Amino acid sequence: MDWVRRRAGSLLGLGLAGGLVWTAVVTLSMPNWYDPSEDCARKVGVDNAHPRTSWFPPSASCVSGDEVRQYMSTTRSVILSVVGVLLLILIATGLILTVRRLTGDPGPLRTGDDLKRRRRSHLLFGALDMGVAFAVVTFLNVVAIVFGNLPGAILFILTTLVGLSAFGTLLDRHMGPLPSTALDSRRRGTVAGLATYGIVFAATAVSGQLPFFRFWAVPLSAIAYAAITATQWSRATRPAVVDRVGRAEDGEGNL
């Protein structure tokens, strides 16, 4: 069980990747969204038909008056249903284990010197890295919606949140505040990733551009991440400053 808990991120990533593939396969197994009548006429021989589809269980048929023709085979529908349930269990298990890691063993305390340089690198290069990540997210967001429809978009949002949390944790571990533990990095990285996405999503919603991100999300994400990590650095270093001041005052009192 400990091995599974340590591999929670991989388990969740596998489930989410499989879920995105599943939504694409289901979408491609249905009449295309831009001209479903032509697809119905070509595959099942029904003219002037409109599609009747369902995502769970996955099914598709073409309806023309009182005539109904099955577009997706029963075998494919059953297989996709079973795979969908298994992927849902995998995603739920991965999510639960991943969230539990945020309250797990903190691990050894890491220390280091030259914190000013480390902070400068985090605010500058970390923000640039987050901007690059959002450039990829902006492009893949379009792909997920086109090939996965609404379920694909929902899964992609969840995948993005998990991915940005992991990426934020990685950046914090390499450039974040010290002294720190692995648990501290996971928590700060998760907050930074989720908050950055929330800011970009809210700005996109206010501008009326949903569901597609625009490329101005790239600089916005970098600025938001820099502001969030700057706040985290201030909060992380404040106790150390207070502690040093307290020790200095105690020393003066002893004199």
pLDDT in tens, 59-72: 988 888 778 888 88
Does any domain span residue 102?
A: no
- pLDDT band with cut points at 50, 70 and 90 for residue 42: confident
Q: How far apart are CA 203 and CA 216, in angstroms?
A: 10
C-beta pairs of 219-224 under 8 Å, 24+ apart in sequence = 219/131, 221/130, 221/131, 221/133, 221/134, 221/196, 221/197, 222/127, 222/128, 222/130, 222/131, 222/134, 223/127, 224/195, 224/196, 224/199, 224/200
- pLDDT band with cut points at 50, 70 and 90 for residue 238: low
Co-location of 18 and 119 in the same domain? no
Co-location of 119 and 241 in the same domain? yes
Q: How large is the average pLDDT for residues 215-220?
A: 93
Co-location of 75 and 114 in the same domain? no
Kindly state the percentage of the chain with pLDDT values over 90.
47
Co-location of 129 and 240 in the same domain? yes
Measuring CA to CA, which residue among 143, 162, 167 is closest to residue 153?
143
Of 6 and 219, which is predicted with more confidence?
Answer: 219
Co-location of 129 and 36 in the same domain? no
Does any domain span residue 94?
A: no
Would you state the pLDDT for residue 175? 92
Q: How far apart are CA 49 and CA 104, in angstroms?
A: 56
Q: How large is the average pLDDT for residues 73-88?
A: 93
Q: Which two tokens stand for residue 254?
A: 């002893």
Structural domain of 58: 2-79
Contact 218, 131 (CB under 8 A): yes
Placement of tokens 């929902």 in the chain = 154
Q: How large is the average pLDDT for residues 156-166?
A: 93
Contact 212, 157 (CB under 8 A): no
Co-location of 233 and 174 in the same domain? yes
Does any domain span residue 39?
A: yes
- Is the confidence at residue 123, as pLDDT, over 90? yes
Count how many domains the chain has: 2
Co-location of 121 and 227 in the same domain? yes
- pLDDT band with cut points at 50, 70 and 90 for residue 89: very high
